[in-house]
Amino acid sequence: MHYSWHWQVLLEPEPGGTGTYLHYLIVGLGWTLATAAAAWVIALVIGAFVGTVRTTTARWAVRLGNFYVEIFRNIPLIVQMFLWFFVVPEFLPEELGNWIKQMPPPWGSYLPAVMCLGIFTSVRVAEQVRAGIGSLPRGQRMAGTALGLTQAQTYRYVILPQAFRIILPPLTSETMNIIKNSSVALTIGLLELTGRARAMQEFSFRVFEAFTAATVIYLLTNLVVVLVMRVVENRVRVPGLIAAGGAPQAGH
Amino acid sequence: MGFDFDVIERSLPYLFRDGMTFTVTLTLLAMTGGIIFGTLLAMMRLSALKPVSLLAGGYVNLMRSIPLVLVIFWFFFLVPYIGAWLLRESQPVKVGAWLSAVITFTMFEAAYYCEIMRAGIQSIPRGQVWSGYALGLNYWQTMAQIVLPQAFRNMLPVLLTQTIILFQDTSLVYVISATDFLGAAAKIANRDYRLVEMYSFVAVVYFIISYALSLLVKRLQDRIAIIQ
């Protein structure tokens, strides 16, 4: 069995008339990154908040946080995509729902995809934040109390600055996860990198060239993320404070 | 807009007999295959032979670096060519969505199970391996009778948590139009134009199963923690 490669296809024009296939894929990468970046902001804000709340002494807040985490952790990502895309607009006030449904492409897919990925990832961030706070010695919190700080002040000045540094390595892998997971948005019609590789395969019949190109682009993107996060880790490192290696975790 | 929840009741046999059976069978097959292949990969990664560990490491890192959806597409188109190569046919062989899905998830999840088993193997004190060799056991005997049973036991909760993730991830076979639980629901949803009802129902079912399984894993974890 033999497959004849035809790499020049990347430089041939795509049928939409926007340029070469390579350009078409790079624009796809742009959408992948735009989706991942916006979702990452949502995930960090909500995740940091929910994760922190779950370590406080307010029991109702802990329960609420646990409930939030369990809901969004136990529904598959693609099903959550469909919920945000097909179901949520029906339950919004009619005008708002219609406005979302009538948004021109790709915004009609982009907005639900960002919400979905953001909330989905916020749960994973919340787990990391909680674990990071939990890994700090209990004396840190007691010292805060002994100094006369309130609970909020203890978190602000003692706990969180350390916890965030500890969880930087797992957050790096979450950054790569959110980029990878954004590919699920193709199921609601967002033409990001994987979606465009699939479309290119359909237009040009060059299956393996399209998927190889997408794979290489993803690998390069991961490399950039790792390098950037390494710079961030070095920037914020406190001399003498060594982040502990994490236990093995299930993931995807 | 009126909601029609009767559509769920009418399609229950199809959803569960066809859809959920597909999902559960795929999960169990991919789990079994993935753990076996993943354990082999872990042993390769920890091998003293550089080419072997590099090969396994390269495979695992590649799988973990690209999106599952892309991996599903890759195998969907690649498996017919591999089949033709294995069977010495001149044309790509026809492979259905089912076989393609089983191969994809086995190969993909193996990379994740590998990392878990690697941590498990490394958690066993080196002295146990040395005592195995001192007793005259060879590598395979030491692995099979001393290291792997303990590694597997230590890692059981993480392996099961990974399996819950696998159970959820199988819903992505939607992209190759397979009729898993989500695929079956999507077909009804589009045929009867009942997307809201069907997708809400799918979410509830997935939630109940995954949450129940995660509670079981948690109980198991507590029991193992006490024994140690």
pLDDT in tens, B12-66: 888 899 999 999 999 999 999 999 999 999 999 999 999 999 999 999 999 999 9
CB pair distance less than 8 Å for B65 and A78: no
CB-based contact, A12 to chain B, within 8 Å: no
In a domain, A248, yes or no: no
Q: What percent of chain B has pLDDT over 70?
A: 98
pLDDT in tens, B210-221: 999 999 999 998
pLDDT in tens, A115-132: 999 999 999 999 999 999
Partners of A187 on chain B (C-beta within 8 Å) are 174-175
Both tokens of B133, joined, read 């060799």
Does residue A73 carry a pLDDT above 90?
Answer: yes
**What gap in Å lies between CA A119 and CA A75, rounded to an integer?**
12
Whole-angstrom CA distances from B69 to A77, A191, B170 are 12, 13, 10
Collapsing DSSP to helix, strand or coil, A20 comes out as strand
Burial A157-173, CB ≥16 within 10 A → b, else e: ebbbebbbbbbbbbbbb
CB-based contact, B69 to chain A, within 8 Å: yes
pLDDT in tens, A213-222: 999 999 999 9
Question: pLDDT grade, residue A225 (50/70/90)?
Answer: very high
**Roughly how many angstroms between the first and final C-alpha of chain B, as a whole number?**
57
Determine the residue of chain B that is closest to A205 in CA distance.
B77
Q: CA nearest B124: which of B150, B159, B144, B145?
A: B150
Pick from A194, A207, A248: CB nearest B77: A207
In a domain, A7, yes or no: no
In a domain, A179, yes or no: yes
Q: CA nearest A187: which of B208, B100, B164, B182?
A: B182
pLDDT in tens, A144-193: 999 999 999 999 999 999 999 889 888 988 999 999 999 999 999 999 99
Residues 196-215 of A with CB under 8 A from B: 197-198, 201, 207-208, 211, 214-215
Whole-angstrom CA distances from B183 to B135, B170, B176, B177 are 54, 10, 10, 7
CB-based contact, A194 to chain B, within 8 Å: yes
In a domain, A9, yes or no: no
Q: What is the pTM of this model?
A: 0.90
**What gap in Å lies between CA B177 and CA B180, rounded to an integer?**
9
Chain-centroid distance of CA B54 in Å reads: 23
In a domain, A242, yes or no: no
In a domain, A178, yes or no: yes
Partners of A211 on chain B (C-beta within 8 Å) are 70, 73-74, 77
Residue A57 sits at φ, ψ, to 5 deg, of: -95, 0
**What gap in Å lies between CA B70 and CA B172, rounded to an integer?**
11
In a domain, A3, yes or no: no
**What gap in Å lies between CA A35 and CA A192, rounded to an integer?**
9
Confidence at residue B1, expressed as pLDDT on a 0 to 100 scale? 54
- Cis peptide bond prior to A106, omega within 30° of 0: yes
Confidence at residue A236, expressed as pLDDT on a 0 to 100 scale? 86
In a domain, A62, yes or no: yes
Contact B90, B83 (CB under 8 A): no
Q: Which helix (DSSP H) or strand (DSSP E) does residue B228 occupy?
A: none
β-sheet bridge partners, residue A20: A13
CB-based contact, B162 to chain A, within 8 Å: yes
Range of the domain at A133: 19-236
CB pair distance less than 8 Å for B195 and A86: yes
Alpha helices (H) along B46-144: 50-65, 68-87, 97-122, 126-134, 139-142
CA dihedral B149, B153, B159, B161 (to 10 degrees): 170
* A154/chain B closest Cα distance in angstroms: 31
**Residue A212 maps to which CATH number?**
1.10.3720.10
CB-based contact, B182 to chain A, within 8 Å: yes
Q: Which of A72-76, A234-238, B166-170 has the lowest mean pLDDT?
A: A234-238
**What gap in Å lies between CA A245 and CA A185, rounded to an integer?**
33
CB pair distance less than 8 Å for A80 and B65: no
Confidence at residue B225, expressed as pLDDT on a 0 to 100 scale? 72
Tell me the domains of chain B and their CATH numbers.
6-227 (1.10.3720.10)
Interface size between A and B, measured as CB pairs under 8 A = 129
Question: pLDDT grade, residue B2 (50/70/90)?
Answer: low
Mean of pLDDT values over B141-160: 94
Whole-angstrom CA distances from B186 to B6, B32, B171 are 16, 28, 11
Domain count along chain A: 1
Q: CA nearest A215: which of B78, B193, B85?
A: B78
Residue A233 sits at φ, ψ, to 5 deg, of: -60, -45
Contact B166, B105 (CB under 8 A): yes
